[in-house]
Copies of this chain bind each other. A is one copy, B any other.
Amino acid sequence: MITLDLKLPDAHYPIHIGRNLLTRTDLLKPHLPIPSAAIVTNSTIAPLYLAPLEQALKAEGIATRVVVLPDGESYKTWDTLNLIFDALLAGNCERKTTLIALGGGVIGDMTGFAAACYQRGAPFIQIPTTLLAQVDSSVGGKTAINHPLGKNMIGAFYQPRVVIADMVLLDTLPDRELSAGLAEVIKYGLLGDAEFLAWLESNIEQLRARDPAALEYAVKRCCEMKAEIVGQDEKESGVRALLNLGHTFGHAIEAGLGYGAWLHGEAVAAGMVLAAATSQELGWLNAADVERVISLIQRAGLPVRAPDLGLTNWLEHMGHDKKVEQGKLRFVLLKQLGQAVISSEVSHDVLQRVLSGQNVTA
């Protein structure tokens, strides 16, 4: 097991990465202020991993309730969130009851947001069960639900007490979900680590084949980068926005097609290709660079072409991006492979060319 430490100005918490950690109550117990927990999971994960976690907690004398939500991005809504509140209140959960998110990004985001709001703030713990959640969404305290007009529009910055990434849980992950997670892994290489990007180009097949050492290295490297960036800028007033590479386009795809049509990672993948194409338009990347991006994303089993939302729809959805400032869209683009920057200098013409696919080579 590897343990990273995410250091914030007035808090810090461990990220444990390893195998067979799900029932390691010794990793959980130090973070429960009272022996009371509520596991939040979904109908796909519950039959696989709920019983061992629940039994391990109960064996330690921890009063444990369970909330099982429907599975999928289309349920990342207030109505589903309210099922958590209903269960917590019906179960007399207190302000110090710890919420445990056992699931992927949707479960983690919703459980974290429920914890942020329940009695104005209850403790919570992340046990991510997907690659995407292990490398990205479970770390850093971004929590949210979707609004029909915009992805993750309603939420909070609210940090977990501990993140436990058990690599064994990835054994049951469907291939499509694995690929979706690889989109975020590739994102880390593109935005800030050219060496990691090259490693990914050499190891993408091993990752898709779930080679344990390769997966563990990728999870560790992504969590290291995320911990460093979030430690510098918890509330995204600066550098943290770079983690949004591909997300302005990606969120528009998700909202535009209806949440759940594409997986988040798939939308981010196509979004990163658009970000690369935009960077090429600005003269920052050359055709060979863009080709490298497209090729790696393709080899990861991910889409490289965004759906045709139509320019009006694209602009409408991107207009609700959280990075918009005084009416101006701000994009995360690539100065070079391994170096992302924020730019508000993308002209309407460039955007139109990129979004109509006129300059995409794949």
A96 neighbours in B (Cβ, 8 Å)? 325
Q: Pick from A90, A95, A119, A157 the residue with the most CB of B within 10 Å.
A: A119
User: Is the pair B153, A121 in contact by a Cβ cutoff of 8 Å?
Assistant: no
Instruction: Mark interface residues in A317-356 (1 if CB within 8 Å of B CB, else 0).
Output: 0011010111100000000000000000000000000000
**Assembly stoichiometry (copies):** 2
Q: Which residue on B lies nearest to A141, using beta carbons?
A: B120
- What are 21 sample pairs from A and B whose C-beta atoms fall under 8 A apart? A34-B326, A86-B149, A89-B147, A89-B150, A89-B153, A92-B324, A94-B324, A94-B325, A95-B322, A117-B154, A117-B155, A117-B156, A118-B154, A119-B155, A120-B142, A120-B144, A120-B155, A120-B157, A120-B235, A121-B157, A156-B156
Given A94-B324, A121-B157, A156-B156, 10 more A-B residue pairs with CB atoms under 8 Å apart are A34-B326, A86-B149, A89-B153, A117-B155, A120-B142, A120-B152, A120-B155, A120-B235, A120-B322, A121-B235
A155 neighbours in B (Cβ, 8 Å)? 117, 119-120
Q: Does A116 contact B (CB under 8 A)?
A: yes
A129 to chain B, nearest CB (A): 24
Bound together, the chains give a CA A175 to CA B322 distance in angstroms of 44
A160 to chain B, nearest CB (A): 15
Contact A119-B325, Cβ < 8 Å, known A90-B149, A149-B89:
no
Q: Does A82 contact B (CB under 8 A)?
A: yes
Instruction: Mark interface residues in A219-242 (1 if CB within 8 Å of B CB, else 0).
Output: 000000000000000010000000
A162 to chain B, nearest CB (A): 20
Bound together, the chains give a CA A83 to CA B147 distance in angstroms of 12
Q: Which residue on B lies nearest to A145, using beta carbons?
A: B117
A325 neighbours in B (Cβ, 8 Å)? 34, 94, 96
A121 neighbours in B (Cβ, 8 Å)? 156-157, 235
Q: Does A85 contact B (CB under 8 A)?
A: yes
Instruction: Mark interface residues in A134-152 (1 if CB within 8 Å of B CB, else 0).
Output: 0000000010100101101
Instruction: Mark interface residues in A254-276 (1 if CB within 8 Å of B CB, else 0).
Output: 00000000000000000000000
Q: Does A78 contact B (CB under 8 A)?
A: yes
Bound together, the chains give a CA A161 to CA B47 distance in angstroms of 47
Within 292-321 of A, Cβ neighbours of B (below 8 Å) are at: 319-320
Bound together, the chains give a CA A156 to CA B235 distance in angstroms of 16
User: Is the pair A94, B147 in contact by a Cβ cutoff of 8 Å?
Assistant: no
